[in-house]
C-alpha cells in the first residue's frame, strides 16, 4: 500500500512553522471566548481556562526567572493526576523547555536512571512521591538542582538535603505575574519526552515535537471519537502514559472540553464513583480494567458515557459484548504506542468489529511485512509497520535503537497482525510472543480470547513452554472468576472448550491456575515473567 497520499502531516493540518503547543492547547481558548469554561475537574477542584492559562504562565515564568531553566532543558514531572500536572506540563512547554512526565508507579531505581538519562536539573513532584526521591538522594546530587513540591513540604529539605534546593510550589510562584509570551519555538522543536515501558529493559525516552499532539488530537480525537466542546473526558490510564496524556490531557484542550482527572488508584469502586459524580461523556480504559469493572458487583449509572475507548492490549470480544450488554456502551478498541504518541488503528463508532483493532485511522498508514520487510499476502500474519506525523523524532541517546525502530517514514511497532478482506486489523501478539507450534504460527492472543469466553475465566495469559522434546507448546495461566473453583475438572473443561472453538494444535498443553497475572504499570501482561 502506498503511504505518500494517505499521511496527513502537521502542515496540512494548518500548524504554522512558528508554533508553541501551549499557545494552541491553552491560550487559544481565551481569545476564542472560552475563558470561563471549566478545563479541568479534580474531585472538588474546578479550573477554568482563564485560571489554567494564568497558572501555566506563572509556572513558565518561574522556571525561566527563578530557576534559570533554558530552552530545550528537561523538566521532569513526577506528578499524580491533577491540575498541577497541566500547569507543569504546559508551563514547561510554553517556556521553551522540555517536559518529561515520569511514571508515578516506578521504583526509586527507575527514577535514578531516568533523571540521570534525561539530565533534568529540575523535577516537579507531588508530596506523596517525595520519599521515592529521598531514597536516591545521593544520586540526585549529581545533577538535580531544584525540586518543586506540590503540597506541604515542611520536611522536604531534610529528606533530600545536599546541594539540591527544595521549593514549595506556592513559594516558587508567589508574586510571579500571570502573563507570559510563549517561547519562539517551531512546530518541529522538542516539546516533551515520554519514556516507553521498561518491561523488557531500560526505559527509552521518546522525543516528541510541538506538532505531535495536534496531529493525534485532529486525526484520532476529532476524526475518530468526534470529540467536541461539550465532551467531558475521563481516562483510567494516567496522564504520564502516552494513552492517558491524550485521553485526558490534550484531547479535551484541543476542543475546549473538560478533563476529569483522579489522583488515586483506578480500582473499580473509584472508577465507578468518579463516573457517577463527574458524568464523563468519553471514557477510556484498558482491557484489564474493563474486566475488573465487569467483575465488580453492583448497580452503577454510566448513562452519561456516549463512547468508551480501549488500548494497551487487545480487547477480547467477550469483554466487549459483556460491557455492551451491561451498560449499553460501545468500546472502541485500538492500538497506539508511546513512539507514535496515540492511536493509529482503531474501531470507529460506525465501524466496529469486536476482537479486531479496527481500521487505520485516516491520516496514518499501515502495512504488514515479513522479516525481510516485504509485504505479506492479505490474511497472513505480518509485522506491523505504521507511518504518521505524530511519530517521535527518535529515542534520546539511543541511536541504534532509533535506527532499528524508525525506517524513513515507517515505525516498526513490534506487533504482529493480520488484515482481513475488509481492511480490519487483527492482533496476533508481539513479535516475541508468537509461538511456532508444529511448524505453524499460534497467536497467544487468539487462545486467550477463546479461554476468556468460558464463564469460569476472569483473565488469562498464554505463553510458550518446552515439552519433553524441547518443542514449544502453549501453556495457559488462568485467574478464575469468583464462585468457581480451580480444580482439575475445570482445567479439563477449559481444554475441551478451546478445542471446540480453535484448531486442535492451538490448544494449551498445560493449564495453571494463579491468583493474579504479572502486569506492567499500564496493565499489560508481562508474559516474559510467566515464561
pLDDT higher for 418 or 441?
Answer: 418
Q: Which of 408, 430, 452 is the last residue of a domain?
A: 430
Query: Is the same domain home to 149 and 166?
Result: yes
pLDDT at 468: 67
- Tens digits of residue pLDDT in 284-295: 998 888 988 999
Query: Is the same domain home to 231 and 107?
Result: no
> For residue 204, is it within any domain?
no
Phi and psi at 259, nearest 5°, equal -95, 130
Query: Is the same domain home to 439 and 396?
Result: no
Q: Which of 412, 430, 448 is the last residue of a domain?
A: 430
How far is residue 402 from each of residues 339, 386, 392, 394, 396, measured CA to CA in Å?
10, 15, 10, 5, 9
Query: Is the same domain home to 74 and 171?
Result: yes
| 33-39 mean pLDDT | 98
Phi and psi at 480, nearest 5°, equal -85, 155
Query: Is the same domain home to 321 and 387?
Result: yes
**Into how many domains does the chain fold?**
3
Query: Is the same domain home to 163 and 224?
Result: no
Query: Is the same domain home to 72 and 114?
Result: yes
pLDDT at 2: 37
Mean pLDDT (the chain, rounded): 92
Query: Is the same domain home to 473 and 371?
Result: no
Domain that holds residue 95: 49-185
Q: Which CATH number characterizes residue 116's domain? A: 3.40.50.980
Q: In b/e form, how buried is each residue of 76-103, taking b as 16+ CB within 10 angstroms?
A: bbbbbbbbbbbbbbbbbbbbbbbbbbbb
> For residue 37, is it within any domain?
no
Query: Is the same domain home to 62 and 164?
Result: yes
> For residue 228, is it within any domain?
yes
> For residue 196, is it within any domain?
no
pLDDT at 342: 98
Res. 157: pLDDT tops 60: no
pLDDT at 200: 45
> For residue 193, is it within any domain?
no
Q: Which CATH number characterizes residue 269's domain? A: 3.40.50.12780
- Tens digits of residue pLDDT in 358-412: 999 999 999 999 999 999 999 999 999 999 999 999 999 999 999 999 999 999 9
pLDDT at 159: 58
> For residue 446, is it within any domain?
yes
- Tens digits of residue pLDDT in 182-203: 999 999 999 999 998 643 457 8
Q: Cell 497520499 belongs to which residue?
A: 5
DSSP 264: S
Query: Is the same domain home to 241 and 256?
Result: yes
148 contacts 122 by C-beta, under 8 angstroms: yes
Res. 138: pLDDT tops 90: no
pLDDT higher for 428 or 510?
Answer: 510
pLDDT band with cut points at 50, 70 and 90 for residue 526:
confident
> For residue 241, is it within any domain?
yes
Query: Is the same domain home to 88 and 163?
Result: yes
Q: Which CATH number characterizes residue 479's domain? A: 3.30.300.30
Query: Is the same domain home to 262 and 400?
Result: yes
pLDDT at 505: 79
Look at strands 258-260 and 38-42 and give their pairing.
parallel
Amino acid at each position: 500500500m502506498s503511504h505518500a497520499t494517505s499521511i496527513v502531516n502537521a502542515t496540512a493540518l494548518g500548524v504554522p512553522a512558528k508554533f508553541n503547543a501551549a499557545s494552541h492547547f491553552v491560550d487559544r481558548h481565551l481569545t476564542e471566548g472560552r475563558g470561563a469554561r471549566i478545563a479541568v475537574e479534580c474531585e472538588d477542584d474546578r479550573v477554568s481556562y482563564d485560571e489554567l492559562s494564568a497558572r501555566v504562565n506563572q509556572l513558565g515564568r518561574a522556571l525561566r526567572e527563578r530557576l534559570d531553566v533554558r530552552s530545550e532543558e528537561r523538566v521532569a514531572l513526577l506528578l499524580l493526576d491533577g491540575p498541577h500536572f497541566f500547569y507543569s506540563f504546559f508551563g514547561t512547554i510554553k517556556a521553551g523547555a522540555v517536559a518529561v512526565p515520569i511514571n508515578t508507579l516506578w521504583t526509586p531505581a527507575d527514577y535514578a536512571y531516568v533523571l540521570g538519562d534525561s539530565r533534568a536539573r529540575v523535577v516537579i513532584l507531588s508530596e506523596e512521591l517525595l520519599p521515592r526521591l529521598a531514597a536516591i538522594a545521593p544520586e540526585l546530587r549529581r545533577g538535580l538542582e531544584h525540586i518543586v513540591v506540590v503540597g506541604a513540604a515542611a520536611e522536604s529539605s531534610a529528606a533530600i538535603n545536599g546541594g539540591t534546593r527544595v521549593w514549595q510550589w506556592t513559594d516558587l510562584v508567589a508574586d510571579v505575574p500571570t502573563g507570559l509570551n510563549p517561547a519562539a519555538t517551531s512546530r518541529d522543536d522538542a516539546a516533551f519526552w515520554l519514556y516507553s515501558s521498561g518491561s523488557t529493559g531500560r526505559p527509552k525516552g521518546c522525543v516528541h515535537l510541538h506538532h505531535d499532539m495536534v496531529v493525534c488530537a485532529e486525526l484520532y480525537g476529532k476524526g475518530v471519537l468526534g470529540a467536541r466542546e461539550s465532551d467531558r473526558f475521563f481516562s483510567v490510564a494516567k496522564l504520564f502514559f502516552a494513552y492517558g496524556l491524550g485521553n485526558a490531557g490534550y484531547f479535551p484542550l484541543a476542543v475546549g472540553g473538560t478533563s476529569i482527572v483522579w489522583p488515586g488508584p483506578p480500582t473499580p469502586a473509584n472508577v465507578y464513583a468518579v463516573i457517577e459524580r463527574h458524568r464523563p461523556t468519553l471514557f477510556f480504559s484498558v482491557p484489564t480494567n474493563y474486566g475488573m469493572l465487569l467483575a465488580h458487583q453492583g448497580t452503577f449509572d454510566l448513562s452519561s458515557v456516549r463512547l468508551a475507548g480501549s488500548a494497551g492490549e487487545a480487547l477480547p470480544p467477550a469483554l466487549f459484548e459483556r460491557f455492551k450488554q451491561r451498560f449499553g456502551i460501545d468500546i472502541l478498541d485500538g492500538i497506539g504506542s508511546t513512539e507514535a504518541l496515540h492511536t493509529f488503528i482503531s474501531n470507529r463508532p460506525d465501524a466496529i468489529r469486536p476482537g479486531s483493532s479496527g481500521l487505520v485511522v485516516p491520516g496514518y498508514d499501515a502495512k504488514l511485512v515479513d522479516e525481510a520487510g516485504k509485504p505479506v499476502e492479505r490474511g497472513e500474519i505480518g509485522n506491523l509497520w505504521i507511518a504518521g506525523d505524530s511519530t517521535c523524532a527518535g529515542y534520546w541517546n539511543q541511536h541504534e535503537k532509533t535506527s532499528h525502530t524508525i525506517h524513513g517514514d515507517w515505525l516498526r511497532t513490534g506487533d504482529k497482525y493480520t488484515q482481513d478482506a475488509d481492511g480490519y486489523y487483527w492482533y496476533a501478539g508481539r513479535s516475541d510472543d508468537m509461538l511456532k507450534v508444529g511448524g505453524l504460527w499460534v497467536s497467544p492472543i487468539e487462545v486467550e480470547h477463546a479461554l476468556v469466553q468460558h464463564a469460569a475465566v476472569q483473565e488469562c495469559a498464554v505463553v510458550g513452554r518446552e515439552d519433553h522434546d524441547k518443542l514449544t507448546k502453549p501453556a495457559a495461566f488462568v485467574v478464575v472468576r469468583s464462585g468457581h473453583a480451580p480444580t482439575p475438572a475445570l482445567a479439563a473443561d477449559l481444554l475441551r472448550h478451546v478445542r471446540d472453538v480453535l484448531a486442535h494444535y492451538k490448544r494449551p498443553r498445560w493449564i495453571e491456575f494463579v491468583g493474579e497475572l504479572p502486569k506492567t504499570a499500564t496493565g499489560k501482561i508481562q508474559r516474559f515473567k510467566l515464561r
